Amino acid sequence: MSESVEMSLAEAYDLSLGCLLANGCDGENARAVTETMIAAERDGAASHGLFRLPGYVAALRSGKVDGGAAPTVNRLAPGVVQVDGHGGFAPLALERGRAPLVEATREQGIAALSLIRIHHFAALWVEIEALCEAGLAALACTAYMPAMAPAGGREALYGTNPMAFGWPRRNGPPVVFDQASAAMARGEVMIAAREGHELPPGVGLNPDGQATTDPNEVLKGVMLPFGGYKGSSIAMMVELLAAGLVGERFSFEAAQHDNKDGGPPRGGEFILALDPARFGDAGWMDHCEGFFEKMLSIEGVRLPGSRRHANRDKMAAGAIKLPAQLHEKIQELAGK
């Protein structure tokens, strides 16, 4: 384990905000991006926390991303809300789309949010939890740049293409799963490389197409889908929803246009929201609570998202440990 620097969440927030402001983000974008990364730090999701800040800054410095972008909202159809991010980072666009999506979903029982011209570099549970806290069930997905081979192939075509789904609870946090369609998020592979850890088998191939558990070799080679052809089909679905449907770039197209500065490429996101109260079963909440109870009555079973929430509870009065090299890098990027 590398050396680390301990800091409170408030200190980490200030560090990130200052760094983004110093690199051309306006206040609203710097706040929204910072909140997303700090939420990940708080929940122990390091691969999508401050680890991403150098990439966000690279995209600002190269001019790929507009740190002052003001997302606009359009109601394309009764059940389709579109947010145009105008080339900015995803968090502010997601924030701007949330209230119109909740309103459309409550009106109709089901509605979708289509995000275009955004740069997504984060975990998806952030947007899902916010919708579940408004009493809705939701599903989100986004594509990236080619990192993973379709089942049977050895050439990257799909992004690591995450999909997240969440369900509201009566008391306590929603149940949310959020998973890459790759065997592991690429950020986790990068962290394994940084920490000198081996990967479990099945994550990827080296540049010669041979299976390897060396994260550095996987990063040079190609990642594999989880569960073989099953994860591969989910990755394909994500490409079709987050690019084909919303009218944005497929991962391979995003890479063709990207300047390879290490920051997130331009792409899209698709979110589907459902209001369980509009599906005809007044007792849906009790029914589903009973289902979760049943699940948890089986020894060894936990709900997805419970690890994050346990970390969140622990972190309430605690401190995060930022790798010293990353801390130094962020300070340098902030001009300190």
Four-residue CA torsion sign, 247, 252, 257, 259:
positive
Concatenate the DSSP letters of all residues of 248-295 into one string.
Answer: ---HHHHHHH---SSSPPSEEEEEEEE-GGGSS-TTHHHHHHHHHHHH
The helix, strand and coil proportions of the chain, stated in percent and rounded to the nearest 5, come to 45, 20, 35
Told to judge if 8 belongs to the known catalytic residues of this protein, a careful annotator would answer no
DSSP for residue 82? E
Based on the shown chain and the rule CB under 6 A, indicate whether residue 121 belongs to the binding site for ligand PYC. Answer: yes
**Side-by-side strand order, sheet with 222-223:** 211-212, 204-205, 222-223
Nearer of residues 107 and 198 to ligand NDP, judged by Cβ: 198
Site for ligand NDP in 139-198 (CB under 6 A): 142, 144, 159-160, 162, 164, 177-180, 184-185, 187-188
Nearer of residues 136 and 241 to ligand PYC, judged by Cβ: 241
Q: Tell me the closest approach of the beta carbon of residue 99 to ligand PYC, in angstroms.
A: 25
Instruction: State the catalytic residue, choosing from 47, 86, 103, 133.
Output: 47
Are 205 and 211 a contacting pair, CB within 8 Å?
Answer: yes
Q: Which of 306, 315, 329, 331 binds ligand NDP (CB under 6 A)?
A: 306
Binding string, residues 157-196; x marks residues near ligand PYC by CB under 6 A: ---x-------------------x----xxx---------
Token digits of residue 175: 């149940």
Q: Tell me the closest approach of the beta carbon of residue 219 to ligand PYC, in angstroms.
A: 11
Are 82 and 74 a contacting pair, CB within 8 Å?
Answer: yes
Told to judge if 48 belongs to the known catalytic residues of this protein, a careful annotator would answer yes
In the complex, the residues that contact ligand NDP under the rule CB under 6 A are 48, 120, 122-125, 142, 144, 159-160, 162, 164, 177-180, 184-185, 187-188, 302, 304-308
